C-alpha cells in the first residue's frame, strides 16, 4: 500500500505506494476570510478523515462560492483539492483535468506557491502512471517555485527521493530525504518518515524501517489522519511479514483493513482480504470476527460511520 498516493498537497500537505502519502495542515495563505474558505477548510477536513464523498460536496461548494465571488486564487485552491479527491477515488483522468485547470488558474494569478503545490499533486498522478520523465520535469519547476515554502519544498524533495528509489539510486534518495527533513514543517514529516521506511525496506533493513512507520503512525494518530494510519499499518504489516514475523503482520493488516472498511474504501479492503486470510492460515489464527465486522461495515452497518 502506497502512502505517497494520499498526499493531499492542496493547501495542506500530507498523506499514501509511491503515490500514497499523508496530509499537512492548511497554509497561512488559506485564512478564513473569503467566501468559500470555510467550505474549503471543511472539504480538506473530510479528505483527511478519508471521507471522499463528504469532501467532494464541500469542495464543490467552495468552488462555486469562489467563482461567484470572482476569487481566482480560491478557484485554483478548490480545483486542486477536487483533483486530489478524484485521484484518491481512483479516477486519474478527471484528477488530471482538475490539476491542469488549477495550474492554469494559479499561473494567471501569479500565485507561485499555488502553482508549486498543484504541480506536486500532479507529480503524484504521474508516479501512479510510472511516467517518471514527466514527473521529473514538473518537480524541477516546483522546486524552483517552492524553495521559500518549507512544507511544499519538503514534498518536492520527498517525491524526488521516490523517483530515485524507483531507479534504485538509494543513496541519493537518502540524501534527498535528509534535506527534506531539514526544511520540513507540519505533518509532511509523517510522509517523510513513511518514505524513509520504504527506502529502508528496499535496502533490506526491515526492523529499522518499522521504526519509521511507527513514528509516521503516531504522527497520523495525533493529526487524526485516518487514511494515513491505514497506510502506515499496511506498511508495517509488509515489514513484519518480510522479517518472518507473521503474527505481528496479521495484527497490523487487520487494523489497517478495519480502518479502510470504516472509511467505506471497498477497493482497498477487497484487495487485502485474501492476504489477510493467507496470514491467518499461516499463523493458525481465527479471524472470523474480523471478517464479520469488516463485511458489516462495508455493507454500511457501522453504528457511527464517520463518512455518513
Answer yes or no: is 177 within a domain: no
Torsion angle (degrees, nearest 10) of CA 209, 90, 105, 4: 0
Rounded-to-integer distance, Cα 250 and Cα 280, Å: 7
Q: What percent of the chain has pLDDT above 70? A: 87
Alpha helix positions (H), 110-225: 112-128, 132-146, 150-166, 170-183, 188-202, 206-223
pLDDT band, residue 304 (cuts 50/70/90): low
* CATH number, residue 96: 1.25.40.10
Mean pLDDT of the chain: 87
pLDDT surpasses 70 at 162:
yes
pLDDT band, residue 5 (cuts 50/70/90): low
- pLDDT value, residue 3: 64
Query: Which residue, 94, 110, 126, sits at the end of a domain?
Result: 110
- pLDDT value, residue 245: 96
Give this prediction's pTM. Answer: 0.84
- pLDDT value, residue 246: 97
Answer yes or no: is 51 within a domain: yes
Answer yes or no: is 231 within a domain: yes
pLDDT surpasses 50 at 265:
yes
pLDDT surpasses 60 at 31:
no
Answer yes or no: is 98 within a domain: yes
pLDDT surpasses 80 at 95:
yes
pLDDT surpasses 90 at 275:
yes
Contact 148, 139 (CB under 8 A): no
Answer yes or no: is 13 within a domain: no
Q: What DSSP state is assigned to residue 3?
A: S
Answer yes or no: is 55 within a domain: yes
Rounded-to-integer distance, Cα 35 and Cα 43, Å: 14
- Average pLDDT of the segment spanning 207-229: 93
Q: Which residue has the higher pLDDT, 232 or 113?
A: 232
Strand partners, 20: 4
- pLDDT value, residue 26: 35
- Average pLDDT of the segment spanning 126-155: 88
- Report the candidate in 210, 199, 11, 206 with the shortest Cα–Cα distance to residue 120: 11
pLDDT surpasses 90 at 65:
yes
Rounded-to-integer distance, Cα 45 and Cα 220, Å: 14
- pLDDT value, residue 303: 64
Integer CA distances (angstroms), 145 to 50, 54, 116, 152, in order: 29, 32, 6, 9
Rounded-to-integer distance, Cα 285 and Cα 163, Å: 38
pLDDT surpasses 70 at 120:
yes
At a CB cut-off of 8 Å and minimum separation 6, what does 290 contact?
254, 257, 258, 276
Query: Which residue, 110, 128, 163, sits at the end of a domain?
Result: 110
- pLDDT value, residue 20: 36
Answer yes or no: is 49 within a domain: yes
Query: Which residue, 95, 110, 125, sits at the end of a domain?
Result: 110
Residue 257: Cβ-neighbour burial (10 angstroms; 0-12, 13-18, 19+):
buried
Answer yes or no: is 162 within a domain: no
**Domain interval for residue 80:** 33-110
Domain count, the chain: 2
Amino acid at each position: 500500500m502506497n502512502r505517497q498516493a494520499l498526499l493531499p498537497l492542496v493547501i495542506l500537505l500530507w498523506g499514501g505506494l509511491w503515490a500514497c502519502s499523508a496530509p499537512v495542515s492548511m497554509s497561512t495563505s488559506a485564512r478564513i476570510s473569503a467566501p468559500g474558505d470555510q467550505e474549503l477548510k471543511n472539504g480538506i477536513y473530510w479528505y483527511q478523515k478519508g471521507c471522499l464523498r463528504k469532501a467532494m460536496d464541500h469542495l464543490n461548494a467552495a468552488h462555486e462560492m469562489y467563482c461567484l465571488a470572482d476569487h481566482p486564487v480560491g478557484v485554483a485552491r478548490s480545483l486542486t483539492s477536487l483533483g486530489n479527491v478524484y485521484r484518491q477515488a481512483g479516477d486519474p483522468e478527471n484528477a488530471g483535468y482538475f490539476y491542469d485547470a488549477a495550474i492554469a488558474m494559479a499561473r494567471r494569478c501569479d500565485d507561485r506557491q499555488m502553482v508549486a503545490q498543484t504541480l506536486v499533486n500532479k507529480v503524484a498522478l504521474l508516479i501512479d502512471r510510472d511516467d517518471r520523465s514527466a514527473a521529473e520535469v514538473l518537480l524541477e519547476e516546483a522546486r524552483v517555485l517552492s524553495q521559500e515554502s518549507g512544507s511544499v519544498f519538503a514534498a518536492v524533495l520527498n517525491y524526488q527521493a521516490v523517483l530515485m528509489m524507483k531507479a534504485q539510486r538509494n543513496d541519493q534518495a537518502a540524501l534527498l530525504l535528509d534535506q527534506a527533513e531539514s526544511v520540513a514543517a507540519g505533518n509532511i514529516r509523517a510522509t517523510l518518515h513513511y518514505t524513509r521506511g520504504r527506502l529502508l525496506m528496499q535496502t533490506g533493513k526491515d526492523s529499522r524501517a518499522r521504526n519509521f512507520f511507527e513514528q509516521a503512525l503516531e504522527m497520523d494518530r495525533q493529526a487524526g489522519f485516518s487514511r494515513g494510519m491505514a497506510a502506515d499499518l499496511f506498511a508495517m504489516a509488509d515489514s513484519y511479514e518480510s522479517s518472518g514475523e507473521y503474527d505481528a503482520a496479521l495484527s497490523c493488516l487487520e487494523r489497517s483493513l478495519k480502518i479502510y472498511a470504516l472509511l467505506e474504501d471497498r477497493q482497498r479492503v477487497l484487495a487485502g482480504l485474501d492476504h489477510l486470510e493467507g496470514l491467518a492460515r499461516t499463523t493458525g489464527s481465527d479471524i472470523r470476527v474480523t471478517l464479520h465486522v469488516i463485511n458489516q461495515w462495508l455493507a454500511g452497518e457501522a453504528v457511527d460511520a464517520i463518512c455518513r
